Structure 1
């Protein structure tokens, strides 16, 4: 098969022939039709993000494809089924505290590194081998739709946070980081889940206006000033009532004061979900007042990724018409243009934009855009 290989950090990916993956018990081989390229992939491949991704490796985090072969213990999947290849691989020998690896992307801790040594190669290839439970059926689609279905790779991240928050239909949510790639996806998913109102603070006036245009009066934009007290007051005023839940998904570069202004707008007995990167680059950590948390009975929870059942549930939201993949503008690249695609993803990583690699199918050395 052909694959794009990262041979060393800081070097372009090399497209070359690699051995086809070998099927084992508890595994599935998938023909990759479309694989998303994350907007910060260039930072990972350059080594700037210092990800635990040992070269040589076929990278790629998630994919849409068709089942080529299944192991002897598969009872439902069959050759030809359309599936989402979930990159979140969990160890099977500790259900309480599983080690986790993002296949083709990163690992966490010593156990994750051990798991990664087996589930290393990702989806920037014509075929990928995944655990059986990670090949999740999405139902019949046309091959031309595969690239847009890659959007669920992004949508699943905030969906995991909203499930952890136990967001209920009719509640008010504040999305801290709403103008970013994952933040805008949070808005779309929360509306699909029935949120009555979503407060969307940010500094990018154009993106805030676009969110309101796309989703209507249930979205309440708030322009941030940089003053923590002023911004908190503006957020609470925009909600026109109690804020039931705050989900923070801001990147590592943001100051902690911005996060705290949003977090402390939540009502008494409210919930806060932390999914962003504050402090990960060595900056100040988030400091929340102990008395405020205790006396107001605030629930603060961290969340990384999403539970295994989330994929089937988000597919249900798409199939029901509640979550529109058509919101995403998609640019597709043939496998031979993978390095061009990585540059494009970095320059076009805003809300509702998707860069996709097409290892399989009819594309040949070309680029294709879908509005």
Structure 2
């Protein structure tokens, strides 16, 4: 009888080891980084021109996107100040597809020549403070594109309240922001930049939870993936592009209450995020230059340059007419990908693994005892 008991104990012990080993391998497998950095979806998946305010900045080679930009007026765009290098020459607008080198030519109607660039006078390149610039082009952007309204101070306050009430660590949060661009979407430099405009849904991160370069969080907006365990972020080449929010009080308007809250400024390198996918909440969040407080500077600059003493962002193109509401159409998850390979555990190891092992041990002991009592 004792021999039989020992045999049964040995048998259950091996089953226990098999369970622990399988659980360990499952965790390791799930933690493998995905090659696609921001887990985005192409905007053309939902509509031919879903984001008509989105633009790109290029050099003399119009198919090489350097940064993003946002259309705010017939001749004016905003972008990040760190994007305004002396070799930028053109703006591409009114299209979601920018063909790369050695491919078909871009239609000339989407190309606009940069006439003037104005950086914010207090731009600080060390901490990306006031990381904003105005770009004026030589012809009307409205032939192919549309502007978007910059959020007011009151709208920014409302958005901050929503971020405070919806952001949850180690759980899924409500998607209340959309970022977009033609920036890097793969860790492999050979694949590099996409032809199609990419977009992601994000969640606003409250100032007190923001991991940022600036001590004064009032100058920036922090945003990160709204899905726990799924990396979603902007990357190199997306700088200057829009961070969009929807004012629910104006959702019935012709512009669906869409507002640009910020523009892409800085954050963790996508390679670093990919190499540490479980550290979603410990790394730098995406940093976006907050626009509401900069509206006066934007207005005054346009007034002075274009000699328009009565120009006002509050009344000029106040409610553009859009065909599509991206907050209704866009997916939270990247489509056509295996989510089992993308989702990882963000729980600390000491908190996530020990309880599982303890449970397995307790179950194994209970089985041993039950078996012995039956003999």
TM-score bin, normalised by smaller chain = under 0.3
Larger radius of gyration: 2
Higher strand share goes to which structure? 1
